[in-house]
Every structure is written in structure tokens, then in C-alpha cells.
A = this chain, B = another copy of it.
Amino acid sequence: MAPRTNRKWTLKSRPKGMVSESNFELVTEPTPELADGQVLVKTLLVAFDPAMRGWLDDRESYVPPVGIGEVMRAAAVGQVVESASRKLAVGDLVTGTTGWQEYALVDLEHPTMFGSVTKLPEGATPEQALSIFGITGLTAYFGLLDVGKPKEGDVVLVSGAAGATGSVAAQIARIKGASKVVGIAGGPEKCKWLVERAGLDAAIDYKSEDVRRRMKEECPKGVDVFFDNVGGEILNAALVNMAQGGRIVLCGGISGYNADSPPPGPSNIMELVIRRCRMEGFIVIDYLSRTAEAAADMAKWAASGELIAEVDVQEGMENVPGCLNRLFEGRNLGKQLCRVGEPE
């Protein structure tokens, strides 16, 4: 095969605060010859997740940081365009953590944690594969159900509710019989979407409303399950609005991901004692062996129209680094994606 030209965004320097395009370098190189067992995957859609910001800091965490000079790690959907493996054929649509690059060489015989791909789930579109069937969908599913353990009739509050994870968590809460689901999001457009499209009972606009007071108004008897993607002041406000025996699912803290040092902790933490509440963190990679279970439910709900997999698709390889910041600027509604190639 004649080599193709791969463009890839590698990490040049570690960001302080928000990432800048100058933290990355767009490198051009020919694609390599395939060895036995390898495939070449052309990237179609790249996915973005707030956790990616944490991978850029040089510190111990649940996954190693991205190294300087390495391709930026990211989930993506692609198409097999060359194959030296009997496991995948040219034309197959696949998903994996192939990163910010136009072509990924994948060795199916020697898969590594971030170096493998699998076919898309049966019937899933590329967008769905990266949203409800992707990391953020699984995070919402297992975080809400396994960590939050909502009971029918519970009052469920979700922060970052118009984001990829929050929007799915909130909809699953509704599907599972919550008596009320309230979402917190930034701006009237997102709040309108939450109520009119995602079927939530109410939305709180943290940019223009007094969040603590509005929580109290919407949840006068307290919140049974709070699914938190934001941390900071929103978490602190929720602590004084929890019902007795409530559960706080600590999914993430996007409000602090760009801080140089940890932002102030929640001063209302002792409310956990008075209200007998549980606050629990989790990482979705601990649940990956149960992916099929989530996928079956998600497929059913998506097919019936009960669950909307909203996506925000930007375009162009050159716009990839900027898409990460869209998450922190709150510009995305649903899963942030960027289209970098077309199927052949």
C-alpha cells in the first residue's frame, strides 16, 4: 500500500489552567507499513471528556499522564482502511482510544490499555458509540445506578446536566422512576433543552440563579441522589439540601480541573454527618467488564426514544485542541465530538 499522510496532535508542554493550542504540536508523518496482526484505522470522530484535562498533568492518578511528545489520548471512532489481521476487515467501523490523529496503527495481537479497537456495538451510530455507548454513557449508567442506587420515587439532582454524562444520568434517573429529576446547567438554552427535550422536571441555571435557594425550592424535602460532575460551590450548596440518607455520586469536579492547585473544599462537609449521607467517588474503568449490561439497556432506551443521545459535533483536525476547552467553557450541549475524517 502506498503510505498515507497522518497528522497527529502531540503534547508539547503541560498546560497551566486551560489548555492552549500551543501546548500541542501538529505533526505530519507517513503512515507505517503494517505488520501481521495490525490494522490501520482512519479516524472519523474524536470524543472529548473533562477527565482528559487531568491526563495532561504530570501526577499520579488512575491512569498515567500523557507523555511529552506522545499523541494526545482520546476516544474515537474510525474505519479500518488497511488490514493485516483476520480480526477486522477493511471498511469495519471501530472504536478505541486512538487519540488525536488521522490514522492509528493498531496491533490486534498485542493490545495495550489504550492501544486496541473493537467493532461498534450492534446498531450503534458512530455518534452513539462515543456518547451513550462510550465512556461518558457508561459513567452515567454505573455511577447513577451502582453508586447512587436510586430508589423509585427518589428526588434526583444532576449537575453538569446538559453535558455528556449528566444528560444521560438525568435521563436514566427519569427512566428508573425518580419522582423528580432536576438538572443544573449554564444558560437558558441548556435549561430549556433539559426540560423540553430530555424530559427533566426542572432545570436550574447556575449562571443566573441562586443555586442553593433554587435547590431548596425545587427539592423542598431534600435530594435523595445528587449526581455531581462539577464540585466546588455547587457541591457545597447541595450538601445543605440533601435528604436524610442521601447519596452524593462524585463523578467529577469540572469546576476545578483547570486550577493549578485544588480549589477550596466544600465547607459544608459536616452536613454529611447531620444528614447521614454518603458521598462516593468512582471511576468507570472499574465497570468495563459490565459494559454489555449497560449497552443492552441503553440500546433499548435509545430505540424507544426514552433516552436522547445528544451530541455537539465540531469539524476539522485543526480544531481538535480547541474542542477540549469547549467543555470547560460550557459551550457543548451533550457529548462533544469533532469530525476529522470521512469514511472511504
The answer on a CB contact under 8 Å between B231 and A274 is no
The one of B253, B268, B274, B278 that contacts A270, using a Cβ cutoff of 8 Å: B253
**Residues of chain B contacted by A271 (CB below 8 angstroms):** 281
Q: How far is the CB of A271 from chain B (nearest CB, A)?
A: 8
Interface status of A158 (Cβ within 8 A of chain B): no
A281 touching B286, Cβ below 8 Å: no
Q: Which residues of chain B are near A286, meaning CB under 8 Å?
A: 276
Q: Which residues of B contact A272 (CB under 8 A)?
A: 250, 279-281
**Chain B positions within 8 Å of A267 at CB level:** 261-265
Q: How far is the CA of A256 from the CA of B268 in the complex (A)?
A: 11
Across the interface, do B273 and A251 meet the contact criterion of CB distance under 8 Å? yes
A61 beta carbon closer than 8 Å to chain B: yes
Copies of this protein in the assembly total 2
CB proximity of A304 to chain B, nearest CB, Å: 32
A interface size (C-beta, 8 A): 34
Are A278 and B276 CB-contacts (below 8 A) given A264-B267, A269-B265, A270-B231? Answer: no
Instruction: Tell me if B283 and A270 are in contact (CB < 8 A).
Output: no
Contact yes or no, A265 B268, CB < 8 A: yes
Contact between B250 and A236 (Cβ–Cβ < 8 Å)?
no
Nearest-CB residue, chain B, relative to A54: B274
**In this assembly, does A301 line the interface, its C-beta being within 8 Å of a C-beta of chain B?**
no
In the complex, residue of chain B having the shortest beta-carbon distance to the beta carbon of A278: B280
Q: How far is the CB of A234 from chain B (nearest CB, A)?
A: 13
Q: How far is the CA of A277 from the CA of B252 in the complex (A)?
A: 13
CB neighbours (8 Å) of A62 from chain B are 274
Distance, CA A250 to CA B273, complexed state (A): 6
Residue of B nearest to A251 (CB): B273
Whether A193 is near chain B, meaning CB under 8 Å from some CB there, is: no
Q: With A and B bound together, what is the CA distance between A275 and B270 in angstroms?
A: 21
Smallest CB gap from A253: residue in B: B270
> CA of A273 to CA of B282 in the docked complex: distance in angstroms?
5
Please state if B269 and A276 are interface contacts (CB–CB under 8 Å).
no
A163 to chain B minimum Cβ distance, whole angstroms, is 16
Q: What are 24 A-B interface contacts by the 8 Å CB criterion?
A: A62-B274, A231-B269, A231-B270, A250-B269, A250-B272, A250-B273, A251-B273, A252-B270, A252-B273, A262-B269, A264-B264, A264-B267, A266-B269, A269-B269, A270-B281, A271-B281, A273-B281, A276-B281, A276-B286, A277-B280, A277-B281, A278-B279, A278-B281, A280-B280
Besides A62-B274, A278-B281, A280-B280, 8 more A-B contacts (Cβ < 8 Å) are A236-B265, A253-B269, A262-B270, A263-B267, A276-B281, A277-B280, A278-B278, A279-B279
- Pick the 4 closest A-B CB pairs, nearest first: A265-B265, A273-B281, A272-B281, A265-B266
**Partner-B contacts on A (CB < 8 A):** 61-62, 231, 235-236, 250-253, 256, 261-283, 286
